[in-house]
Amino acid sequence: MQISKSFRRLIFLELSIPLALLTLGIYHGLLQTIYRAGVLQQPAFAKLDYYQGLTLHGVINAIVLTTFFAVAFGHATMAFYFKKEPNKKVAWFSFALMTIGTVMAAWAMLAGKASVLYTFYPPLKGHPLFYLGTALLIVGSWIPLFNWASMYVKWKRENKTTKTPLAVLGTLINFIIWFVCTLAVAYEVLVLLLPWAMGWTSTVNVTLARTLFWFFGHALVYFWLLPAYIMFYTMLPKLAGGKLYSDLAGRIALFLFLLFSIPVGVHHQYSDPSITQGVKFFQGMLTFGVAIPSFLTAFTLAASLEYAGRRRGSKGLFGWMAKLPYFDSKNYLFSYFICGLILFIFGGLTGIVNSSYQLNSVVHNTAWLPGHFHMTVAGPVFLAIIGMSTYLYSTMSGKRIFLPGINVIIPYLWMVGVLIFSTGLMWGGLLGEPRRTNLGITYLNSASEHFRPDWVPTTLLALCGGIIMFVAGMLFLVVFFGTMFRKKTSSSILELPVSEAYHDEKRIPLFDKFKPWLVVMGIVLIIAYTPAFVNVKKNAGPGAPAFEPSNPVPIENVSRK
Ligand code: HAS
């Protein structure tokens, strides 16, 4: 499909701005592993301190990159399936808000005035511009939902009995989840954190802030995941040379995410004393519910890949695995997707460990956790984002990929790096190694009385994995920005791979309508979260003064001394 220059430019900017920032994000990822392995035994390096780097790493990689990409990919999906571009004035306005917000937050982080990590973590206190910036980024990313919803309503009016394309359904579901969950974090920022950061209130209600954050925080991970799932369902079977095993399975999985993505946030608060066991148990059960659409996805995708392998002439029970196009540089998206899926098998399994109430007390706040989430967000999510960014840029600019042979091995290098890195972290986590800690100053410093020799192999393993990931990340940036500097050789088009369905089930109205699912979503949310907020109101305790990450004494007491 041909697209306008303005739309093309918008998508290129939405892809390339966060990818340029990724250089900082990846650099601080590597530094984390260096500090933690005790190679650096100091609180700061190159004038940026440990927590400042950790904040930059989390905010750039997990919030800025993912949000910009979801919007860009959503625009491309809607335009491709509806054969019509979204309203461009509205789209540019949303981009402007997101960019201004990102610049504000980036300034606060780089100036060292907002080392509060991507989870905000009050009573750590950041500069007001950090909170305002992240709020603007979020509000800017709400706008496309309304832009796309009006396209969808118009299309549906003209195509009442046609099934909504799976990719469109997924994009709308994802942004509905995003809109609902971010209402809580918007409240946290605007009502609790911003007035506190401006000095209008002297303390902050930490329990309420955390509960509002996690109302948003777990749905956030599915907001990251769903663009990847859309690619896996609608593109991967075709790239593998087969068909999607069942279209209906994809629809069911997507609608289940609408029900279960949000009412599970308390599983991040199993250790919070203000929330009662009943609420934790109930949300723990719902967390097992949110794993169901992923199990459904695993079986559907495995069946689709098996079909592709058999079409390519495989024999035996598992022969199909050997027949897939792993190293085809012209079909490089396949390698990005398959590596993401392999990582997600382990990311998913460790997630189930986390969600099990009792097991969580073993792993909570240990290095196990970053082990888990690097096999999810830095697994299928990151690989789908970078693979699709290269694909969209190259097809929409009409430029050939720079270093295609390297491009196809990047995901394998990344996968090996993440597997080694996460093994080191999870092994360390089981030995009690804490997360979010500059281990080089104490536990990994042999001169310290706190030295832990049993954490030397675990942190070294994580360091090795981190170096491999860093190399893969840098190679990706070379390929992506190298492609930008190439000459245009073909016409610029918007073209997405589209898989046919093996079982293309008849349209079932329930799986083609939002209303009934939105009603059930509201009911589940009320049942899961009313008791949680009642708990918080009753048991919140006194407001907390501000702290800095490196000091257990409140800031005001430190400055009084
Ligand atoms: Fe999680 C903490 C539970 C999924 C990200 N998670 C985190 C944090 C992050 C994160 C960032 O219950 C840390 C937040 C912080 O800073 O504190 N998580 C789960 C569960 C799932 C899960 C039950 N997480 C994700 C995804 C993420 C993500 C997805 C990012 C995108 N997580 C938790 C819990 C905590 C937590 C607790 C808090 C712990 C604590 O104490 O703080 C489930 O959704 C997972 C379901 C997934 C599966 C896997 C399906 C496998 C597939 C691949 C199939 C492969 C094929 C290929 C077909 C069941 C689909 C085959 C072909 C071949 C050739 C082999």
pLDDT tens sequence for the chain (561 residues): 899 999 999 999 999 999 999 999 999 999 999 999 999 999 999 999 999 999 999 999 999 999 999 999 999 999 999 999 999 999 999 999 999 999 999 999 999 999 999 999 999 999 999 999 999 999 999 999 999 999 999 999 999 999 999 999 999 999 999 999 999 999 999 999 999 999 999 999 999 999 999 999 999 999 999 999 999 999 999 999 999 999 999 999 999 999 999 999 999 999 999 999 999 999 999 999 999 999 999 999 999 999 999 999 999 999 999 999 999 999 999 999 999 999 999 999 999 999 999 999 999 999 999 999 999 999 999 999 999 999 999 999 999 999 999 999 999 999 999 999 999 999 999 999 999 999 999 999 999 999 999 999 999 999 999 999 999 999 999 999 999 999 999 999 999 999 999 999 999 999 999 999 999 999 999 999 999 999 999 998 889 999 988 888 998 776 655
3-state SS string over 438-481? Answer: CHHHCCCCCCCCCCCHHHHHHHHHHHHHHHHHHHHHHHHHHHHH
Output the CA angle 294-146-378, nearest 5 degrees.
35
450 assigned to active site: no
Q: Which residues contact 296 (CB under 8 A, 6 or more apart)?
A: 249, 252, 253, 256
373 assigned to active site: yes
210 assigned to active site: no
**Ligand 1 contacts CB of residue 55 (under 6 A):** no
Residues in the chain: 561
- SS3 breakdown of the chain: % helix, strand, coil, rounded to 5? 70, 5, 25
How many CB atoms within 10 Å of residue 249?
A: 22
C-alpha 58 to ligand 1 mean position (Å)? 17
What is the rounded end-to-end Cα distance, in angstroms, of the chain?
67
C-alpha 369 to ligand 1 mean position (Å)? 10
**Ligand 1 contacts CB of residue 518 (under 6 A):** no
Tell me the two tokens of residue 397: 């600019």
Q: Which atom of ligand 1 is nearest to the CA of 321?
A: 64
Catalytic one among 28, 251, 435, 452? 435
Q: Which helix (DSSP H) or strand (DSSP E) does residue 49 occupy?
A: strand 48-49
The pTM of the full predicted model, rounded to 2 decimals, is 0.97
User: For 78, phi and psi rounded to 5 degrees?
Assistant: -60, -45
Catalytic one among 35, 68, 213, 222? 222
Q: How far is CA 477 from CA 33, 73, 384, 411, 472, in A?
A: 20, 19, 15, 13, 9
How many CB atoms within 10 Å of residue 13?
A: 15
CATH architecture of 5-560: Up-down Bundle (1.20)
C-alpha 536 to ligand 1 mean position (Å)? 27
**Ligand 1 contacts CB of residue 283 (under 6 A):** no
| Protein residue closest via CA to atom 44 of ligand 1 | 291
Instruction: Name residue 435's amino acid.
Output: R
Whether the CA torsion 374, 438, 206, 127 is positive or negative: it is: negative
**Ligand 1 contacts CB of residue 378 (under 6 A):** no
436 assigned to active site: yes
Which of 218, 254, 297 most suits a substitution to test ligand 1, by most atoms within 8 Å of the C-beta? 218
Output the CA angle 5-143-76, nearest 5 degrees.
40
Q: Which helix (DSSP H) or strand (DSSP E) does residue 501 occupy?
A: strand 501-503
**Ligand 1 contacts CB of residue 264 (under 6 A):** no
C-alpha 119 to ligand 1 mean position (Å)? 17
**Ligand 1 contacts CB of residue 348 (under 6 A):** yes
Taking the domains of the chain in order of start, what are their residue ranges?
Answer: 5-560
**Ligand 1 contacts CB of residue 290 (under 6 A):** yes
**Ligand 1 contacts CB of residue 287 (under 6 A):** yes
Q: What DSSP string describes 133-180?
A: HHHHHHHHHHHHHHHHHHHHHHHHHH-TTSPPPHHHHHHHHHHHHHHH
| Protein residue closest via CA to atom 31 of ligand 1 | 377
**Ligand 1 contacts CB of residue 311 (under 6 A):** no
Tell me the two tokens of residue 194: 């911003």
Rg of the chain over all Cα atoms, to the nearest angstrom? 23
268 assigned to active site: no
Q: How far is CA 242 from CA 122, 204, 305, 504, in A?
A: 49, 55, 7, 14
